[in-house]
Structure 1
Amino acid sequence: MSEREWNLQDKYVLITGATNGIGLAAAKAIAARGANIGIIARNQRRAEEISIQLKKQTSKPIKVDIFIADLSSQSSIRQAAEQILERCPQIDLLVNNAGALFDTLLKTEDGVEMTWALNHLAPFLLTSLLLNRLKESDSARVINTSSHGHKMVKNGFDFDNINGEDLYTGVKKLMGGPTLRYAQTKLANILFTSELAQRLEGTNITVHCFDPGLVATNFNQNNGRMAKATMAVMKLFSRTPEEGADTLVWLAEMKDVSWLNGKYCADRQLKEPTEVAADRELAKRLWEISEEQVGASLK
């Protein structure tokens, strides 16, 4: 092990979206380094298959836990968090990786637009519920998967229309409204990262986000034939999931990440996000709105 690497041996790592794509590639790489893994997944059967894969690939026995949750549902997230806290006396790393894009307006049982609920509010709430356990670790990290897609957002958010219904109708939909909505959630990931890091300054927890680049995964396969055809073409120019997960793994195993606390990275480098993504007042306002939407306070 390099002196520059954080020893992941026997660390406990929770990962959302670990049953395919970037999350699966990251889970394999982190498990190979001797970490115990907690998979937060929606599909029990798929999660069990991944659990077997992770255990088989390691020379040293590791622990792999499965927690079933619908991350678009706040009640489901709360139930999963309760199970995690009951079964996991130690959490050293939380990876908020799950995400999706929906090209039609769908609302969750909580009345929240689906892309926003899954991509932004889920990591916000899950982190909130697990924060005290993370604080009990000698050194803990939170890593959020963002995207260069955040650059599409030029003017922040319309907080009076936080569900973004207008992006799914008429001309705005034809002009890529659902894609812009996804970009807004990726901007939210960056703002959440920076604000959480500010609020946890002086604690044992650092917070990070990264851009995996254009990756060949099952992303956007839920939106019909046109979306599938588009993604098939894009895959010709895409990175492998392993390449997409590389910066995540780098952040997970680097010994000293204090200089990257609250920051945005890509290709194993510190990157400057857009001006709107660096707006501290916008980050604070987003935090307040997010707390209202989930009814939880991150102290």
Structure 2
Amino acid sequence: MEKITINKSSLQGKYVVITGATSGIGLAAAKELATRGANLGIVARNQAKANQVAAQIKASTGGSTTVDIFLADMASQKSIRQVAAEILKKCSRIDILINNAGALFETRQLTVDGLEMTWAVNHLAPFLLTTLLLDRMKESAHARVITTSSHGHKMAKKGINFDDLSAERLYSFPHKLIGGSTFRYAETKLANIMFTAELANRLEGTGVTAYCFDPGLVSTNFNQNNGLLARMTMAVMKMFSRTPEKGAETLVWLVDSDEITCHNGHYYTDMQMTIPSIPAQNMNAAKRLWAISAEQVRI
């Protein structure tokens, strides 16, 4: 991470809930936020990895940082509801919620709720978790919801196909031969931006603000579970990738900066407000997405 002049106690006493913090930019961000005085609630799927990360962070701060571990499967709405209840029981305040967990599935898979997996993990999981934690966040002054999106959202040039939310078409012939799974991922990253914009509108006057960002092409373990071709592709991409620390810079800045308080609902790249794709600016579609998402998670 580039050296920036900061107040190392700037987040003292703040409580940050973060998903996807056991590797990649989530881990890099968690470590940096801890050095600035934040206490952390890590939402993870793997207990052993979460324990290891918590130990690393505590050691790096001399034991001064609280690191709580919450276990959840982000593909399961039941699991998300359970972890939200645990977080609310444990945490009397939540100042920052970082929706960072994400995945890409090369083949079409369904969750236990009968929903397409990439959509469920990348969009519906942060939608549901955010909704369940919002009332607690409203009790904290200037709370923020930050969601990891991607430059890849621009691949969804026609916006979200609301007639194929189960992605049967994208994963079927001939679309699967021309990267249907990648286009599905792009739809979910577009959904992150639209969710942020609509959430910001709904939060006006509450003291809670929402932002999303593009971390850039980052060298992580992402997309390693989709076979040899996917691993080979990612290996080539890593040669042109930034470090997780560099990718986490904008995320950390969105947590800690006072510069963004008047820019609720926007999308950022390299610590600058960025104009997303034209479909991402369609607020009618964002409202439709919200309504459909609420139905899919039954709230």
- Into which bin does the TM-score normalised by the smaller protein fall? over 0.9
Residues 43-82 of structure 1 mapped to structure 2, 5 A cutoff: 43-59=46-62, 61-82=64-85
| 1:285 and 2:292 are equivalent in the alignment | no
| 1:228 and 2:231 are equivalent in the alignment | yes
User: Which of 1, 22, 30 is residue 33 of structure 2 equivalent to?
Assistant: 30
For residue 190 of structure 1, what is the aligned residue in structure 2?
Answer: 193
1:4 and 1:259 mapped to 2: Cα distance? 21
| Structure 2 length-normalised TM | 0.96
1:241 and 1:121 mapped to 2: Cα distance? 25
| 1:96 and 2:95 are equivalent in the alignment | no
1:234 and 1:210 mapped to 2: Cα distance? 20
For residue 218 of structure 1, what is the aligned residue in structure 2?
Answer: 221
2:230 and 2:5 mapped to 1: Cα distance? 43
User: Which of 257, 265, 273 is residue 270 of structure 1 equivalent to?
Assistant: 273
Q: Could you give the per-residue CA deviations for residues 120-178 of structure 1, whole angstroms, max 9, x where no partner exists?
A: 00000000000000001012000000000000011122222211111111110001100
For residue 153 of structure 1, what is the aligned residue in structure 2?
Answer: 156
| 1:117 and 2:120 are equivalent in the alignment | yes
User: Which of 17, 20, 25 is residue 20 of structure 2 equivalent to?
Assistant: 17
Paired letter, 1:66: I
1:6 and 1:212 mapped to 2: Cα distance? 24
For residue 210 of structure 2, what is the aligned residue in structure 1?
Answer: 207
Question: Percent identity between the aligned chains?
Answer: 61
| 1:136 and 2:101 are equivalent in the alignment | no
SS in 2 for 1:62: coil
Query: In the alignment, is the contact (CA less than 8 A) between 1:5 and 1:255 conserved in 2?
Result: no
The alpha carbon displacement at 1:4 in A equals 9.2
2:172 and 2:275 mapped to 1: Cα distance? 33
**Number of residue pairs matched by the alignment:** 296
User: Which of 94, 108, 112 is residue 111 of structure 2 equivalent to?
Assistant: 108
Paired letter, 1:52: A
The alpha carbon displacement at 1:10 in A equals 1.2
1:166 and 1:90 mapped to 2: Cα distance? 43
The alpha carbon displacement at 1:59 in A equals 4.1
Compared CA separation, residues 292 and 102, structure 1 to 2 (3 A): same
1:198 and 1:2 mapped to 2: Cα distance? 32
Paired letter, 1:288: A
1:137 and 1:11 mapped to 2: Cα distance? 9
Q: Could you give the per-residue CA deviations for residues 23-53 of structure 1, whole angstroms, max 9, x where no partner exists?
A: 0000000011010000000000100000000
Q: Could you give the per-residue CA deviations for residues 256-297 of structure 1, whole angstroms, max 9, x where no partner exists?
A: 42232100000010000011100010100000100000011x
2:64 and 2:248 mapped to 1: Cα distance? 23
| Structure 1 length-normalised TM | 0.96
Query: In the alignment, is the contact (CA less than 8 A) between 1:41 and 1:47 conserved in 2?
Result: yes
Query: In the alignment, is the contact (CA less than 8 A) between 1:6 and 1:255 conserved in 2?
Result: no
Query: In the alignment, is the contact (CA less than 8 A) between 2:215 and 2:269 conserved in 1?
Result: yes
| 1:85 and 2:88 are equivalent in the alignment | yes
1:47 and 1:172 mapped to 2: Cα distance? 37
Query: In the alignment, is the contact (CA less than 8 A) between 1:5 and 1:253 conserved in 2?
Result: no
2:38 and 2:83 mapped to 1: Cα distance? 21
2:294 and 2:165 mapped to 1: Cα distance? 13
The alpha carbon displacement at 1:6 in A equals 9.2
Compared CA separation, residues 3 and 168, structure 1 to 2 (3 A): closer
Q: Calculate the aligned-residue CA RMSD, in Å.
A: 1.5
Worse-matched range after superposition: 149-158 or 40-49: 149-158
Query: In the alignment, is the contact (CA less than 8 A) between 2:153 and 2:189 conserved in 1?
Result: yes
| 1:239 and 2:242 are equivalent in the alignment | yes
The alpha carbon displacement at 1:223 in A equals 0.2
User: Which of 249, 254, 257 is residue 254 of structure 1 equivalent to?
Assistant: 257
The alpha carbon displacement at 1:113 in A equals 0.2
